[in-house]
Structure 1
Amino acid sequence: MYISYSPLRITFGGGGTDVEPFLSKYGGAVVNATIDRGVSVRYIEDGYQLELSSRDFVRSYIVNMHRPVSVTKMMADFLSDSGIRTGRVIMSGDAPPGSGLGSSSAAVSALMNLVNTVIGRNVDRETLAEESYRLERDHFHVLLGKQDPYAIAFGGFKYMEFDRDGMKKEDLGRYDDFANELERRILLVYTGKTRQSSEVLMEQVKASEMGDEETDRKLLEMKDVARKLRDSVVNNDMEEFAHQINRGWEIKKSLGSRITNDRIDRIIGMALSGGADAARLMGGGSQGFVLVMCRPENLNSLQKRLMRISNFVVRTSFDKSGTRMIR
């Protein structure tokens, strides 16, 4: 048996600047962290015809509306083309695709890592990230940014910059005092639904493709948010870090008509009025998980408060290892 695992990720700021065509024009910057929840892909070679199963990924995966081919068929084609035509592939995840935690990219990265291991192909993390990005974009037809496959492949708490020439990253986890304190301040609150991330992102992409100066200006502000988040970590300034999360969310909301809704606004409002220092929706917008940041002394009471509006309010820790084989 082979088991490949990829962690999910949370983004503190800069999301959207890693999406084309803005990325090639101006370069993107994000601050993110992988967390202690993820997606696993198991492969058991039993000699029989290939069987694919999943608790939620296959059932929930959003496929390109213009090519109504099941994700099961696309996965089977990829595995077959890679030389895996027999055995069982079983996928399971801690969050469904469309939740804003990069679960689709985590699944694809884990699948790519599994295939490489089974066929005896060794690649470095950057190659794994780039190949996973291309597989998700070109084979599964998902509109996505660069940060997810790269954040997930490398793991950890980091600042990342992207441009047409590649990626640069800085390990923010080396600032132990800040990183450890930040972990103690995080809650994730589920809105109760997922969304079609490609459709939400499309509004931003079309505006940028048409040369909309206002959209590009806002994305440049988002890039500045990421840089200031990075600086606040280096300066051990938790108050400024929280401020930049909130600033980034205000910019994000203005990038599309479906970024937020009444339920998201209610969750964020309840969090901030209940003692949170920062709150923002993860991912492209519309549904998924809300990231809440508060002081440790307020965490317990705030978690209980938010459970009045959501059935899933959880604490989390950072994952430092990224995509890996665990068996």
Structure 2
Amino acid sequence: MYISYSPLRITFGGGGTDVEPFLSKHGGAVVNATIDRGVSVRYIEDEFQLELSSRDFVRSYIVNMHRAASVTKMMADFLSEAGITNGRVIMSGDAPPGSGLGSSSSAVSALMNLVNSIRGRTVDPATLAEESYNLERNHFHVVLGKQDPYAIAYGGFKYMEFGADGVKREDLGQYSEFTTELQRRILLVYTGKTRQSSEVLMEQVKASEMGDEKTDRNLLQMKDVARRLRDAVVKNDMDEFAHQINRGWEIKKSLSSRITNDHIDRIIALALSNGAQAARLMGGGSQGFVLVMCKPENLNYIQRRMMSISNFVVRTSFDMKGTRMIGH
């Protein structure tokens, strides 16, 4: 048995600036962290025809597709091309697919890592990230940015820049006092539904392709948010970090009318009115998880209050390792 594991990720700011064509025109910047929830892909060898199972993640890919084809068949085709035609592939995740935590990229990264391991091929995180990005974009036809494959392959709490000269990564986990304190302040609140992230992102992509000045201006401001978040970590300024999360959310909402809705607005308003320092929706928009940041002394109270509006409110901490094999 082979077991490959990829953590999920949360983005504090800059998401969307890593998506083409804005990335090629202006470069992107994000601050994100992988968390202690993830996706595992297991391969059990036997003599029978290849079997793929995971109802949840099959559905998550289907909602991101832009052609009428079975994602199961595409996964089987990919595995067959890699020489894997027998056995069982079983996928499972710790959060609902399509919830804004990068679950599709986590699944693809874990799958690519699994195939590399079965074939006896060792690659570094940068290579794994690029291979996963190309697989997800070109084989599964998912509209996505660069940050998820790189965030997930490397793991950890980091500032990332994307440009013509490649990907630059700064480990923010080295600022241990800030990193430890931040993890004591985070809640994830599930909205109760998932969404089609590719369809929301396509609005941004089309607007940027058409040279829409408002879209590019907003994305440039989001890039500035990521840089200021990074600076807040370096300066150990938790209040500024929270301020930039809120600023980024306000900018994000201006990109599309589908980013938020009344239910999400109610969740965020409830969090802020009960003492949270910051709150914003994760991922491309519309549904999924809301990130709530609050002072440690208020966390238990706010978690209980958020349970009045959501059935799934959880604390989380960072995973510093990224995609890896956890069994063979």
Say yes or no: does 1:229 pair with 2:229. Answer: yes
- For residues 157 and 286 of structure 2, the distance between their equivalents in structure 1, rounded to whole angstroms, comes to 25
Say yes or no: does 1:144 pair with 2:106. Answer: no
- For residues 15 and 232 of structure 2, the distance between their equivalents in structure 1, rounded to whole angstroms, comes to 18
Q: Which residue of 2 aligns with 1:320?
A: 320
Describe the superposition over 1:221-265 as per-residue Cα deviations: whole angstroms up to 9, x where unpaired.
000000000000000000000000000000000000100000000
- For residues 116 and 242 of structure 1, the distance between their equivalents in structure 2, rounded to whole angstroms, comes to 39
Describe the superposition over 1:96-141 as per-residue Cα deviations: whole angstroms up to 9, x where unpaired.
3210000000000000000000011111110000000000000000
> Structure 2 matches for 1:84-123, cutoff 5 A?
84-123=84-123
- For residues 20 and 278 of structure 1, the distance between their equivalents in structure 2, rounded to whole angstroms, comes to 28
Q: Kindly provide the amino acid, as one letter, of the partner of residue 308 in structure 2.
A: R
Q: Where does the alignment leave 5 or more consecutive residues of structure 2 unmatched?
A: none
- For residues 162 and 282 of structure 1, the distance between their equivalents in structure 2, rounded to whole angstroms, comes to 20
Following superposition, the deviation at residue 63 of structure 1 comes to: 4.7
TM-score, normalised relative to structure 1 = 0.99
Following superposition, the deviation at residue 166 of structure 1 comes to: 0.9
Q: Which residue of 1 aligns with 2:191?
A: 191
- For residues 21 and 82 of structure 2, the distance between their equivalents in structure 1, rounded to whole angstroms, comes to 30
- For residues 117 and 195 of structure 2, the distance between their equivalents in structure 1, rounded to whole angstroms, comes to 32
Following superposition, the deviation at residue 61 of structure 1 comes to: 2.3
Classify the secondary structure of the residue corresponding to 2:158.
Answer: strand
Say yes or no: does 1:293 pair with 2:293. Answer: yes
TM-score, normalised relative to structure 2 = 0.98
Q: Kindly provide the amino acid, as one letter, of the partner of residue 51 in structure 1.
A: E
> Structure 2 matches for 1:1-327, cutoff 5 A?
1-63=1-63, 66-327=66-327
Following superposition, the deviation at residue 68 of structure 1 comes to: 1.2
Q: Where does the alignment leave 5 or more consecutive residues of structure 1 unmatched?
A: none
Following superposition, the deviation at residue 60 of structure 1 comes to: 3.4
Classify the secondary structure of the residue corresponding to 1:79.
Answer: helix
Describe the superposition over 1:208-229 as per-residue Cα deviations: whole angstroms up to 9, x where unpaired.
0000111111100000000000
Determine if contact 2:41/2:110 at 8 Å carries over to the other structure: yes
- For residues 121 and 240 of structure 2, the distance between their equivalents in structure 1, rounded to whole angstroms, comes to 44
Following superposition, the deviation at residue 48 of structure 1 comes to: 1.0
- For residues 269 and 110 of structure 2, the distance between their equivalents in structure 1, rounded to whole angstroms, comes to 36
Classify the secondary structure of the residue corresponding to 2:263.
Answer: helix
- For residues 63 and 306 of structure 1, the distance between their equivalents in structure 2, rounded to whole angstroms, comes to 28
Following superposition, the deviation at residue 55 of structure 1 comes to: 4.6
Q: Kindly provide the amino acid, as one letter, of the partner of residue 240 in structure 1.
A: E
Aligned residues: 327
Classify the secondary structure of the residue corresponding to 1:290.
Answer: strand
- For residues 188 and 73 of structure 2, the distance between their equivalents in structure 1, rounded to whole angstroms, comes to 33
- For residues 293 and 226 of structure 2, the distance between their equivalents in structure 1, rounded to whole angstroms, comes to 17
Following superposition, the deviation at residue 165 of structure 1 comes to: 2.4
- For residues 298 and 196 of structure 2, the distance between their equivalents in structure 1, rounded to whole angstroms, comes to 33
Following superposition, the deviation at residue 176 of structure 1 comes to: 0.4
Following superposition, the deviation at residue 59 of structure 1 comes to: 3.2
Say if 1:18 and 1:234 are closer, same or farther in 2 by CA, change over 3 A.
same
- For residues 254 and 59 of structure 2, the distance between their equivalents in structure 1, rounded to whole angstroms, comes to 32
Q: Kindly provide the amino acid, as one letter, of the partner of residue 28 in structure 2.
A: G
Q: CA RMSD in A?
A: 0.8
- For residues 79 and 241 of structure 2, the distance between their equivalents in structure 1, rounded to whole angstroms, comes to 42
- For residues 77 and 221 of structure 1, the distance between their equivalents in structure 2, rounded to whole angstroms, comes to 41
Following superposition, the deviation at residue 42 of structure 1 comes to: 0.2
Classify the secondary structure of the residue corresponding to 2:167.
Answer: strand
Give aligned-pair identity as a percent. Answer: 84
Determine if contact 2:185/2:293 at 8 Å carries over to the other structure: yes
- For residues 310 and 206 of structure 1, the distance between their equivalents in structure 2, rounded to whole angstroms, comes to 34
Determine if contact 1:63/1:141 at 8 Å carries over to the other structure: no
- For residues 242 and 60 of structure 1, the distance between their equivalents in structure 2, rounded to whole angstroms, comes to 31
Following superposition, the deviation at residue 65 of structure 1 comes to: 5.2
Say if 1:316 and 1:219 are closer, same or farther in 2 by CA, change over 3 A.
same
Determine if contact 2:64/2:199 at 8 Å carries over to the other structure: no
